[in-house]
A and B are shown apart, each in its own frame.
Chain A
Amino acid sequence: MTISQEDIKKIAYLARIKISQDESILLEKKLTGIMNLIDEMQKIDTDSIEPMSHALDINQPLRKDEVSESDIRKKTMPLAPEAEDSLFMVPQVIE
């Protein structure tokens, strides 16, 4: 599996990471190397195998739908790069 410049452009867009031209050229070789390592998986047949998404195959526990956390806005809002009152500020998205 070769990762092309076109692939990098596509996945960088999906991942919302800006990649410079120079970075992209370096990435091509390294990502291709990693994908070749990953492709080792294709050598075995897994048709009848059940996928394993969790180490212990446990079920998701449920809890009652009750308020359990107090209002922690006073603690968390000051962590925002830009905030006003209790709102996170971002560049305008709606005209």
Chain B
Amino acid sequence: MLNLSLKQLSQNLNDKTFSSHELTEFFLSRIKKYNKQLNAFITIDESSSLSMAKMADDKISKGEHKPLTGIPIAQKDIFCAEGWRTTCGSKMLENFIAPYNATVIQNFNDIDAVNLGKTNMDEFAMGSSNETSYFGSVKNPWNLDCVPGGSSGGSASAVAARLAPAATGTDTGGSIRQPASLCGFTGLKPTYGLVSRYGMIAFASSLDQAGPMAPSAEDCAMLLNTMASHDHKDSTSIDHKKEDYTTNLNHPIQGLKIGIPKEFFGDGLNASVQKIIEEALDKYKKLGAELVDISLPNSDLAIPVYYVIAPAEASSNLSRYDGVRYGYRTKEYDDLMDMYFKTRQEGFGEEVKRRVLIGTYVLSAGYYDAYYLKAQKIRRLISNDFKQAFKKCDVIMGPSAPSVAFGSGEKKEDPLAMYLQDIYTISTNLAGLPAMSIPAGLSSNLPVGLQLIGNYFEEGRLLNIAHQFQLSSDWHLKIPEGIS
């Protein structure tokens, strides 16, 4: 069961080689064995998971089997799941039991997939190392002294260590792709609006997008089939024709034009990462693709723009945590104001407070035009760069992250160094484009991810291009030593 693809697991469940109950028990026992070291999960609810598995087995025995029925999936603790504690990695929501299901969770429930547990994450998804979580940092199974990346670090660690066959994540500036790169598996951030944000705790609403995290592109295609849906409960959800993302996985990629942005290969990119990326691009050439030089001239402004827009939206979204309707409330206070001030001082961690303060500053009277409006204008320029680039190529490729996984604590006290982790991923969130990270090799026994960026709604094409690479490589199947 350890290294079977979702398709194989599904086949075995349908053939009754093993039951969903057995499969779920298998992964729960792996979580019990390894979670102390990795800290990938915040909440495990064995009896809920197993009763979902039992329901799935009932459906399978009645012949009502769908592709992911009975498959245990780890859910990032940013998704509300009814009856489950949902913390978003924060003290503020330490005891919050979600009263309803996020649409992503509901979609998985509707086909009787099993919720395997809620995974650790950076607090309110703010971080690139999973060190800002109130529930402690997550370890990278490839090297326990290294970070798994963030903010979907718990999901990443769980998938890499095969504590779950697949997981969900969310990506506001790289939070699916950077941890997928650092932990050596496949992660996809869809086009903004393809997956509903309803019940997904908001960080920066114009950038947040949920997506699948699993060993292979084929797995991700199956997950996306369930995750993507038009939802009237999310006003930014796009009414996009329902697709089967597994259909075109086997299309040949002969003649594919791959755009190589020169800005992604400059200073700041680790030399051994660059070498592995170049080898992966050579492999694509052997598969019949053609490399085209392109330029994304404003990409150096993506980080400054992001650190205006994301904190601005966060400062507004996080104003709901006031200690009145749900969540943490300080123990002692003199009056209402005092209660607000202390609740938010004690309930939020350092990084969250920093971003709320930056967001408040850039939106405050007298600064709006100089910062927020300016950032929105440059966001347009960054988006236009991609539009120009896609006139010359079908897909854009480069590194997902500037380096392999770094040491725990190494960048924790230096927010600016941490922010640079997302230098190659942020611009696609600003433009709303779909993008993936796929394993491309190992450097000093740590994974390196190749990033693939597609045009709007071209998830099917991206998954096809990734799948073709994975048919002739096995980096996505590698499991860290000491874990199997």
Chain A residues in the interface with B (C-beta under 8 A) = 3, 7-8, 10-12, 14-19, 27, 30-31, 33-35, 37-42, 44, 46, 49-56, 58, 60-61, 63, 72, 75-76, 79-82, 88, 90-93
Residue ID in chain B nearest A80 by CB atoms: B325
- Return the contact of A37 from the options B100, B193, B207, B303 (Cβ within 8 A): B303
Given known contacts A55-B432, A56-B238, is B357 in contact with A40 (CB within 8 Å)?
no
Q: Is the CB of B357 within 8 A of A81?
A: no
Tell me whether B353 is interfacial, beta carbon within 8 Å: yes
Set A3, A27, A46, A90: member contacting B324, Cβ < 8 A: A90
A40 and B327 alpha carbons, distance in the complex (Å): 37
Is A17's CB under 8 angstroms from B353's CB?
A: yes
> B305 contacts the other chain (Cβ, under 8 Å)?
yes
Give the 10 A-B residue pairs with the shortest CB-CB distance, closest first. Answer: A55-B432, A51-B376, A81-B329, A46-B377, A18-B341, A52-B380, A18-B345, A55-B192, A79-B326, A49-B377
What mask results when residues 225 to 268 of chain B are scored 1 for a CB within 8 Å of chain A, else 0?
00000001001101000000000000000000000000000000
Chain A positions within 8 Å of B374 at CB level:
41-42, 46
Residues of chain A lying within 8 A (CB to CB) of residue B142: none
Q: Which residue of B lies closest to A77 (CB)?
A: B325
B302-357, CB < 8 A from A: 303-305, 307-308, 315, 319, 322-329, 333-342, 344-345, 348, 353-354, 356-357
Which residues on B sit within 8 Å (CB–CB) of A42? 370, 374
Contact A27 B326 (CB under 8 A): no
**Could you say which residues of chain B place their CB within 8 Å of the CB of A81?**
323-324, 326-329
Residue of A nearest to B382 (CB): A52
Contact A91 B371 (CB under 8 A): no
Asked if A34 and B415 sit within 8 Å, CB to CB, the answer is yes
Q: Which of B15-23, B46-54, B155-163, B360-368 contacts A (4 or more CB under 8 A)?
A: B360-368
Is B376 a contact of A44 with CB atoms below 8 Å? no
Q: Which listed residue (A19, A54, A79, A82) contacts B96, Cβ 8 A? A: A79
26 interchain pairs, CB-CB under 8 A: A3-B361, A11-B364, A16-B337, A17-B353, A31-B358, A34-B307, A37-B307, A37-B419, A38-B308, A38-B358, A39-B304, A41-B378, A44-B301, A44-B381, A50-B380, A51-B376, A52-B377, A52-B383, A55-B193, A55-B430, A56-B193, A72-B100, A81-B326, A90-B336, A91-B336, A93-B336
B residues near A88, Cβ cutoff 8 Å: 324-325
Residues A79 and B304 in contact, CB atoms below 8 Å apart: no
Within 8 A of A (CB), among B424-457: 429-432, 456
Let me know if B307 and A38 touch, CB within 8 A.
yes
Q: With an 8 A cutoff between CB atoms, is B467 at the interface?
A: no
Inter-chain CA distance A85–B20, complex, in Å, is: 43
Bound Cα distance A18, B356 (Å): 12
Q: Is residue B379 within 8 Å, beta carbon to beta carbon, of the partner chain?
A: yes
CB pair B238–A58 under 8 Å, yes or no, is yes
B415 pairs with A60, CB closer than 8 A: no
Say yes or no for B373: interface residue by CB 8 A criterion.
yes
Minimum Cβ distance to chain B for residue A3 (Å): 7
Q: Is the C-beta of B471 less than 8 angstroms from some C-beta in chain A?
A: no
Partner of B344, one of A15, A60, A90: A15
Given A34-B354, A93-B336, residue A41 in contact with residue B193 (CB < 8 A):
no
C-alpha spacing A40/B423, complex, angstroms: 14
Q: Are A17 and B303 in contact (CB under 8 A)?
A: no
Assembly CA distance A25 to B357 (angstroms): 14
Q: Other than A17-B356, A19-B353, A90-B336, give 12 A-B pairs with Cβ distance below 8 A.
A: A14-B364, A16-B341, A17-B348, A34-B416, A35-B361, A41-B375, A44-B381, A50-B380, A54-B206, A56-B191, A75-B100, A88-B324
User: How far is B327's CA from A75's CA once the two chains are assembled, in angstroms?
Assistant: 14
Looking at A8, A41, A50, A52, the one whose CB has the most chain B CB atoms below 10 A away is: A52
Which residues does chain A contribute within 8 Å of B327, judged by CB atoms?
79, 81
B288 touches A (CB below 8 Å): no
Contact A61 B380 (CB under 8 A): no
Q: List the A side residues contacting B379 at CB < 8 Å.
A: 51-52
Answer whether A27 and B354 are a contact pair too, CB < 8 Å, given A18-B342, A38-B362, A81-B324: yes
For residue A63, which residue of chain B has the nearest CB? B232
* B354: min CB distance to chain A, Å: 6
The interface residues of chain A lying within 8 Å CB-to-CB of B429 are 55
What are the residues of chain B within 8 A of A41 when measuring CB–CB?
Answer: 301, 304-305, 308, 371, 374-375, 378
Interface flags, B184-214, vs A, CB<8A=1, else 0: 0000000111000000000000110000000
In the assembled complex, which residues on chain B have CB atoms less than 8 Å from the CB atom of A40?
300-301, 304
Residues of A within 8 A of B340 (CB): 16
A17-B356, A58-B236 known; A76+B376 contact, CB < 8 A: no
Which of A7, A61, A75, A79 makes the CB contact (< 8 A) with B325? A79
B97 contacts partner chain A, Cβ-Cβ < 8 Å = yes
Which residues from chain A contact B348 at a C-beta distance below 8 Å? 17
Q: A8-B357, A33-B415 are in contact. Are A19 and B339 (CB under 8 A)?
A: no
Residues of B within 8 A of A54 (CB): 206, 236, 432
Q: Contact between B416 and A15 (Cβ–Cβ < 8 Å)?
A: no
CB pair B235–A61 under 8 Å, yes or no, is yes
Task: State whether B322 touches A16 (Cβ < 8 A).
Answer: yes
Whole-angstrom CA separation of A33 from B111 in the bound complex = 48
In the complex, the answer to whether B235 meets A38 with C-beta atoms within 8 Å is no
